[in-house]
Homo-oligomer: A and B are copies of this chain.
Amino acid sequence: MFDIQQYLREQRLLVENGLQRYMMPEQGDFSAHIESMRYSLFVGGKRIRPILCLAAGRTVCAAPEIEEKLLPAACALECIHTYSLIHDDLPAMDNDDLRRGQPTCHKKFGEAEAILAGDGLLTYAFALLSNPDLPGPETATRLQLITVLAHAAGSQGMVGGQYLDIASEKKTISFDQLKTIHRSKTGALITAAIHMGALAGQADQGQLEALTRYGDAVGLAFQIVDDLLDVTASTEQLGKTAGTDAQQGKATYPAFFGEEKTRALAKEAVASAQKALASFDERAEPLRVLAQYIYQRTC
């Protein structure tokens, strides 16, 4: 029986250690700026994207060193995710004071400082992926990882999704538009995490396609659950302000379908994610259980 709690603890520790090792230290002329980046990076977080990346690598690759080889890429994913939270929380965006139960970056360090902390983390992700002194796959694959991450994090992925999300506030949007926002704002980076793990693990075409289907389904489940949590969980449980979606007039799954149907849709997405893994052996067990875990965060 696979123990998901123990697995998550171990993988989180691996990622935390990687971030400590690979993130620049608070030294030198730029130490105050680096402090603001490290604050947001180490304030907490489930490290889901790096863990999905490592689990995807393990699914297609039996070599014991695959996690070590993937760790800088996994850390790059967390840098991108953290920067996106810092910028999303800014007064001009979602204007949030709390994140992971702590003051947001701009509350702690100031607005200009938070913009720059985000810019620094975003840029550092690509420094990590391209650094020849860090573990990683061979050169051509490193370039592929950069392409995948830049596309998923960029204007036709996460950044574009955040733009659409903000543009949609207090407007009536269609369910198709909501799906586009979810897919780009949240789904793209989750799918990229899995795609990057698969590429570094030298997945063949069939494996890549199966893992992409898994990533799309898990990304969808994740976003549906996020929408649900905003309605059902307390600020204390979330570590960020609850109920902000309804307050900002945002379209969400519960707003379209109500809570019960939304729960059913999340369950359906988890089932498709697990179905996509049918052809893999027991090395895919973490991915199977992670899909379930994402659903159980709330339901």
Interface set of A (CB-CB < 8 Å, partner B): 24, 28-30, 32-34, 37, 87, 90, 92-93, 110-113, 115-116, 118-120, 122-124, 126-127, 129-132, 139-140, 142-144, 146-147, 149-151, 153-156, 159-160, 162-164, 166-167, 180, 184
Contacts and interface: CB of A to CB of B under 8 A. Distances in A.
8 contacts: A30-B164, A37-B155, A115-B115, A120-B154, A123-B154, A124-B155, A127-B147, A139-B140
Given A120-B160, A122-B122, 19 more contacts: A24-B155, A29-B180, A32-B167, A33-B163, A34-B155, A113-B166, A115-B115, A116-B166, A120-B155, A123-B153, A124-B155, A126-B146, A127-B150, A129-B146, A130-B143, A132-B143, A139-B140, A142-B143, A146-B146
Given A93-B115, A118-B119, A150 B126 contact: yes
Nearest to A34: B155
What 9 A-B pairs come out closest when comparing CB atoms? A92-B111, A127-B150, A120-B155, A123-B154, A30-B160, A33-B163, A130-B146, A126-B150, A130-B147
B127 A112 contact: no
A127 B113 contact: no
B116 A162 contact: yes
A112 B93 contact: yes
Nearest to A109: B163
Nearest to A90: B115
A30 B163 contact: yes
A97 to B, nearest CB: 16
A32 B155 CA distance: 11
Given A122-B122, A130-B146, A159 B116 contact: yes
Chain copies in complex: 2
A37 B108 CA distance: 29
B33 A159 contact: yes
Contacts of A116: 87, 159, 162-163, 166
Contacts of A127: 147, 150-151, 154
A40 to B, nearest CB: 13
A65 to B, nearest CB: 21
Contacts of A166: 112-113, 116
A115 B84 CA distance: 11
For A87, A90, A139, A160, which residue has the most chain B Cβ atoms within 10 angstroms?
A: A160
A9 B226 CA distance: 52
Contacts of A167: 32
For A122, A163, A180, which residue has the most chain B Cβ atoms within 10 angstroms?
A: A163
Nearest to A148: B130
Given A123-B122, A159-B33, A163-B30, A143 B139 contact: yes
Contacts of A146: 126, 129-130, 146
